[in-house]
Amino acid sequence: MKNFQFKILNCDKKTKARTGIFKTPHGIINTPVYMPVGTKGAVKTVSPEELNDLGAEIILANTYHLYLRPGEKIIKSFGGLQKWTNWKKPMLTDSGGFQVFSLAQEKGFTKKNLKTLVKIKEDGVEFKSHLDGSTHFFTPEKVIKIQTDLGADIIMAFDECAPVHASKKYIKEAMERTHRWAERCKKEHQKIQKKRKIKQALFPIIQGGIFDDLRTQSAKFIVDLNLPGIAIGGLSVGESKEKLYHILDIINPYLPKDKPRYLMGVGSPEDILEAVSYGIDMFDCVMATRNARHGSFWTLNGRSHLANTAFKNDGNPLMKGCGCYTCKNYSAGYVRHLFIEQEMLGLRLLTIHNVHFLVDLMKQIRENIKEGSFIQFKNRFINKFKNEKK
């Protein structure tokens, strides 16, 4: 697509890590990149202006939640997500598939839950709103139309993310259904794009659980759709880290080198570093904001928690040497006080630090790939980071 161009700038000689630029209608994304998650149109507790100051280059919004409230037609009437949210850089919307299927998974994966909360048909999925219990039906075509109205630069194909502990038979059926839906998404997307001046890039999603043969089969099928990017779904949902990295390794030979690769829902610092070494370009995860809401924050020595009384009288910043607004202006002791007293400022300051930590990590990753020192940086970072404080 003319509006979307991906170019590799540097390749690491010892790993599959690479840097690149991804041009979109709302600006350039430098890869590898971490994408903060703004589920309902906002990254929790921080403004778009603050995200821009932090160096974020792209954020996510959630199709399922925005469809239910306020509705894609309202957002379209504002001119799309960027104008509605005042975020002037690129945006990505997921398909809502994960949220639809997680309704049943949250109550435990059983056939009864699937039949009660989510009814899967070849045409699409019937589900109940978590807001009021109302019934809705998503088809691949409808999901594409919703995301068209939302107006993000990158949109996702509708997929079924089967639970990691489901049987191989079920995961295979879900994968094959995902493939058929991806074809329908592509067809609907192409039909709509012919009529639109503002273009969107559709990413299909590789599924297949933790099974090597299914992942390989899915990778081949998804790549053959020849769309602007490739997404990898259904990981970091309960499988071991070893299995996560193994899956990335076995599908790598089938992924095109000239298209961005997006690993969905993965965002811990150590997982990002490992995944970058397997050639992944794009990451998203709610961990930065979720950890902040629970009083956790990252430093170069791992994860720490403000419930630790050692921080009560700590006059140092959350992380020495950190350049974020929080660490330049506030002590760990003060931020701990805000968190204990449930002051909103405390959550904001923690979120700013955590998002900055990941955005800055991506910057350092890109610099070390360019300089040919990525593997040394990765090993040094992980060895120090594993010293986790509870």
* Per-residue DSSP letter, 37: B
Alpha helix stretches (DSSP H) within the chain: 48-54, 63-68, 72-77, 81-85, 97-105, 111-117, 140-150, 168-193, 212-224, 241-251, 269-277, 287-293, 325-329, 332-340, 344-371, 374-385
Sign of CA dihedral 247, 249, 250, 251: positive
Residues 7 and 260: their CA atoms lie apart, in Å, by: 9
Query: 56-85: b or e for each residue (b if 16 or more CB lie within 10 Å)?
Result: bbbbbbbbbbbbbeeebeebbeeebbbebb
Q: Which helix (H) or strand (E) holds 34?
A: strand 33-35
Residues 10 and 7: their CA atoms lie apart, in Å, by: 10
* Per-residue DSSP letter, 13: S
Which residues are known catalytic residues? 94, 284
Q: Which of 240, 241, 233 is nearest to 215 (CA)?
A: 233
162, 167, 171, 174 alpha-carbon torsion, rounded to 10°: -80
Dihedral class, residue 79 (left if φ above 0, else alpha if ψ from -120 to 50, else beta) = left
Residues 24 and 6: their CA atoms lie apart, in Å, by: 9
Residues 60 and 267: their CA atoms lie apart, in Å, by: 13
